[in-house]
Chain A
């Protein structure tokens, strides 16, 4: 007795469109990723060894302090006395706010002390001094 062999079905996944899909992915990531453009002031940060990473950038707000004594928050220059209002608003909007102080290494401590005082008045108490790794 002879069984007639059935025709074998060929199962092929069409791969012709694969490059298109991959290229589409590449383009998507190329377009959606934002390279950080220069923001803030021109500073040289101090170096430190025992540094910790900031967990996320969502809750972080930066204060830039240049050696000329300029203070900038969100690309706007502020007087030291008005930091309390800016930070108080930010702090009410986000209770988990961490203030990162990005200051030039040649800034004098009287300015930093004034900023501390403003932050205390604004109740923004979590502070991080941005540093470079050694």
Chain B
């Protein structure tokens, strides 16, 4: 009768010792791969309503933008990429200088941002948005 003895049940366990490592690996991968996208842009502060200040015209440089994208600094047409350099020299001569950006109603927003970007790159202290 000994032949009918049940065979011992075989151990069929999956090794689970490294499971934690695998889970950690996935966790760390996703933590590294996730990027939190931040908002970026050009910051300005608008003047309060009715808070217009009179200024001497000596301390104002007018920057005009026409509808086709041409930029005029004190009535001279300039290339957008040259604005930064020109402003830096003006600021050295007169640190109190205020730059007033005025755009035609048909001007594209893109050109306006390019001009503001140049002003920001030149570390301009005061930018005035004329309307």
On A, residues with C-beta under 8 Å from B are: 15-16, 18-19, 22-23, 25-26, 29, 33, 36, 46-54, 57, 60, 98, 100, 103-110, 112-113, 116-117, 119-121, 123, 125-133
Chain A residue contacts of B107, Cβ below 8 A? 108-109
Q: Please give me the residue from chain B that is nearest to A53 by CB atom.
A: B38
Contact at A113–B43, with CB atoms within 8 Å? Answer: no
Chain A residue contacts of B117, Cβ below 8 A? 48-51, 131
Contact at B40–A54, with CB atoms within 8 Å? Answer: yes
Give CA–CA (A127, B107) in the complex, Å.
Answer: 20
Chain B residue contacts of A16, Cβ below 8 A? 16
On B, residues with C-beta under 8 Å from A are: 16-17, 19-20, 22-24, 26-27, 30, 34, 37-49, 65, 103-110, 112-114, 116-117, 120-121, 129, 131
Given A19-B20, A116-B131 in contact, is the A103-B109 Cβ separation under 8 Å? yes
Given A15-B20, A116-B131 in contact, is the A129-B44 Cβ separation under 8 Å? yes
Contact at A125–B47, with CB atoms within 8 Å? Answer: yes
Chain A residue contacts of B110, Cβ below 8 A? 46, 105-106
12 contacts between A and B (CB under 8 A): A16-B16, A46-B114, A52-B41, A98-B43, A108-B106, A109-B65, A109-B108, A110-B105, A120-B49, A127-B45, A130-B40, A131-B40
Contact at B48–A133, with CB atoms within 8 Å? Answer: no
Given A26-B27, A106-B108 in contact, is the A100-B47 Cβ separation under 8 Å? no
Chain A residue contacts of B22, Cβ below 8 A? 19
Q: Please give me the residue from chain B that is nearest to A112 by CB atom.
A: B109
Looking at the assembled complex, report how far the CB atom of A101 sits from the nearest CB atom of chain B, in whole angstroms. Answer: 8
